[in-house]
Structure 1
Amino acid sequence: MRLNNPFTTSFGTIQDKEFFIIEAIDNKGTSGFGESVAFTSPWYTEETVETTRHMIEDFLIKILQENEINHPDEVTDLFAVIKRNNMAKAAIEGAIWDLYAKRNNISLTQALGGKKSQIDVGISIGIQASTQDLIDKIDYYLQEGYKRIKLKIKPGYDIEVLRNVRKTFPDAPIMADANSAYTLDDINILKQLDEFELMMIEQPLAHDDIINHAKLQPAIKTPICLDESIHSLDDAKKAIELESCRIMNIKIGRVGGLTEARRIHDYCQEHNIEVWCGGMLEAGVGRGHNIALSTLPQFMVPGDTAGSALYWQQDIIKPEVIVKNGMINVPDKPGIGYEVDPNQLERFSIDLKTFDLRGG
């Protein structure tokens, strides 16, 4: 599917998104849906569309065929024998969670234990061609009511840009996302961020680092939010113990599924660490999963789950996700609460494979 607009980060630009839709069908014909979030190239994590395909077809499906599943939580434990490859795991696990909720005639929100009927929404803005273009976009999204503005930064595109933005929008809820573009050698630059009273700086240092972030956080007033460093509950525990961050971004695909995402949420709640749900340029199925997760109580910061029309000319769900005044009404229908549109799914599909699990 083609994004409405190119999305540029410190790693490069994306406009065409390849991904898998996983449909899990039970013996009564009920379907649950999941969505993979890995990109075509390994710029965010080591996973790609092709590694996702390989892991699902050659390993994860076989595990499901050999085991009986009574609850989606069991999927995470079964998949634990496979190291990492969390995005591949999450794609399947999400479909099973959706199916589980539908079989029990409850929403995915209820299945996860969420309580909110509305969630606040933020927006992520990629690197723009000019500062004025960026300011114009921020102004538009603030007028639309978005509750938080995330700006991508990188060395050479940071302090002056943020200074101009803050001068124009002195009270706007703004955060910066570095996608691991800095090192501790840049500490003097990162200290300058304090001037702008940002909500947070997301993942300023290496994608796999927890220790150096623990050195950086006491040196700056701006709260650090960890993203790429957190792949599991164990990672979250280490980051909290070392005081590497004050906020945590939970992405379903990055941590291996909804079960692990909820476990991280619960631990952060116990330790008073605010969390929010990050986006991976999802289509409607993945967007539905993000909405359900965001209804858990410790999701206190507006997430990246904006409306379908912001990203796609035509989404694959109906109704599409709609943002009004910076909020999304949480659907209460069974499962993710959105119906996959078979016509649009067929329109965008380039391949289809079917696996029979009944022999397991």
Structure 2
Amino acid sequence: MAHTGSATATRIVELELIRLRPAPGGRNTDSDGPVLVRVADDDGVSGWGELPAATPAQWDALTAEFAPALLRHSWRRPTEAGDAWADLPRDSAVASALDTACWDLWSRQRGTPLSHALGGDRTALTAGVTLARQVTLESVVTEVNRQVGSGFRRIRLEVEPGWDADVVRAVQTSFPFLVLQVDGGGRYTESSADLDSLRSLDGLGLLAVEDPFAPDDLAAYARLAAELRTPVALGRPLSSVEDLADAVRAEAGGAVNVDLTRLGGLTAARRAVDLAVDAGWQVWCGSSAATGVGRAAVVALASLAGVTLPVEMPGAGSRNRDLVVPPVRAHDGVVPIPLAESGLGHGVDRAAVAERAARTLVVDADGPREVRAERAREARGRRR
């Protein structure tokens, strides 16, 4: 079957669901490890997506409800794939894995890079990195130096009450020209002390103050955004495009972290980028991805013209073996957008996946069936 235009309908005939161990060398467990999703059409063309951390309930929903629903549904464009699970209980992360896999498949069918299929036109992206909370100010500066030495041009610092302005000033003293933003992780309240702490960040030239309050307190975000000159950024409060629309109407910020896993996939994330740009908000693409499959999708999304802030990438010192070839990494602070290959632009390393696989199911018209270790071993050395 030729796939040359949007008029050709696609029907998924097989899904492969691969639950990975949470980390290399970890126990063979079904608890909260990443899941890779492969969808295939009747010509054998495949597309990949990632569920970064699947609870047992999410695994059950994926295998028993979402995957069979997609098998019963045909679609002409990947924006229509989500109709398959529209009547199921909402799970943004599960939907994101399937939606991304359908976008990858659709792009591969047409021989076009995923970034182009989404409407992106860039060839490379500036990379940013997030630093977890350190023990001392000295260790913060040391770790920032490590990341700057690897070429990162934007550093996102995790902050909390009592560990905020002094941390920023310590970094700025050593790196006065470094672009910084902070992530509050919802750890602040509207108490006088916490608001004073947030105000103390306002004159430090930060790119943004992200997620200072609890995700469900949009009114607090709006009050802070009206007071600060520094853009207030939202990430965790947004689990749908409708949430972002509510935040825009409430004037609850000026920047947004578009995380495709949190929003439900590339279809929703692309809409979120358009909505934010139309509202005059700054945009960057964060990543909760656990493997290169998810990060490759993030890179494709970040190629959109409206995404003007650095894309989130693993920092220097990340040792986990990636599961795609070539690995999705920043080089001297720049992430290349693969344009020579269709779809995600990265081949899945089946040997590396087999080494980490805790459980594999294949779902087709005959229902789900377990793939035993013998077949997984046969996959080693193959890349698709």
TM, length-normalised to structure 2: 0.83
Structure 2 counterpart of 1:156: 162
The C-alpha deviation readout for 1:153-175, integer Å capped at 9, x for no partner, is 12232232223222222221011
Look up the match of 2:260: 252
Query: 2-side partners of 1:357 and 1:220: how far apart?
Result: 56
Deviation at 1:54, TM superposition (A): 2.4
In structure 2, list runs of 5 or more residues that go unmatched: 1-20, 25-30, 368-384
Q: Paired residue for 2:131? A: 125
Amino acid corresponding to residue 25 of structure 1 in structure 2: A
SS in 2 for 1:156: coil
Question: What amino acid sits opposite 2:40 in the alignment?
Answer: I
Tell whether the 8 Å contact from 2:38 to 2:49 is kept in structure 1 after alignment: yes
**Match runs of 1:108-257 below 5 Å:** 108-185=114-191, 186-257=194-265
1:351 is matched with which residue: 340, 359, 369?
A: 359
State yes or no: 1:318 paired with 2:325: yes
Alignment-derived partner of residue 39 in structure 2: 24
Match of 1:95 in 2: 101
CA distance in 1, matches of 2:181, 2:85: 35
Superposed displacement of residue 324, structure 1: 2.0
Match of 1:81 in 2: 87
Per the TM alignment, residue 52 of structure 1 is displaced from its structure 2 partner at its CA by 2.1
When structure 1 is superposed on structure 2, of 158-167 and 270-279 the one drifting more is 158-167
User: Which of 54, 60, 67 is the matching residue for 2:66?
Assistant: 60
Q: Looking at CA atoms only, which structure, 1 or 2, has the larger radius of gyration? A: 2
The residue type equivalent to 2:162 in the other structure is G
**Equivalent residue number for residue 295 of structure 1:** 303
Matched-pair contact (CA < 8 Å) for 1:124–1:150: yes
One-letter amino acid of the counterpart of residue 39, structure 2: A
Match of 1:328 among 321, 331, 335: 335
Give, in whole Å, the separation in 1 of the partners of 2:23 and 2:182: 22
- Superposed CA deviations along residues 117-176 of structure 1, whole A, max 9, x for unmatched, are 111100111011222111011112122221210011122322322232222222210110
Alignment-derived partner of residue 269 in structure 1: 277
Q: Is the 8 A contact 2:69 2:85 kept in 1?
A: yes
Q: What CA distance in whole angstroms lies between the structure 1 residues aligned with 2:172 and 2:85?
A: 45
Note if contact 2:78-2:267 (Cα within 8 Å) is conserved in structure 1.
yes
Q: Which residue of 2 aligns with 1:7?
A: none
Partner residue, 2:12: none
Shift of residue 310, structure 1, vs aligned partner: 4.6
Deviations 1:166-208 (A, max 9, x none): 2222221011001111111121111111132211111000122
Structure 1: distance between partners of 2:248 and 2:328: 33
CA-CA distance at 1:246 after TM superposition: 0.4
SS in 2 for 1:52: helix
**Equivalent residues of 2:121, 2:305 under 8 A apart:** yes
Distance 1:209 1:59 in 2: 32
Report how far residue 343 of structure 1 moved. 0.4
**Alpha-carbon shift at residue 209 of structure 1 (Å):** 2.8
Gap runs ≥5 in structure 1 = 5-15, 39-47
Report the CA distance between 1:91 and its aligned residue: 0.8
Question: Which letter does structure 2 place at the counterpart of 1:304?
Answer: E
Please tell me whether the aligned partners of residues 76 and 260 of structure 1 are also in contact (alpha carbons under 8 angstroms): no
Normalised TM-score (structure 1): 0.89
Quote the sequence identity (%): 28
Which digits, 9 at most, give the CA deviation of each residue in 1:94-129, with x for residues without a partner? 111111111111111111111001111001110112
Equivalent position of 1:43 in the other structure: none
Cα RMSD for the two superposed structures: 2.0
Give how far 1:237 is off.
Answer: 1.3
Q: Secondary structure at the match of 2:182?
A: strand
Would you say how many aligned residue pairs link Structure 1 and Structure 2?
338
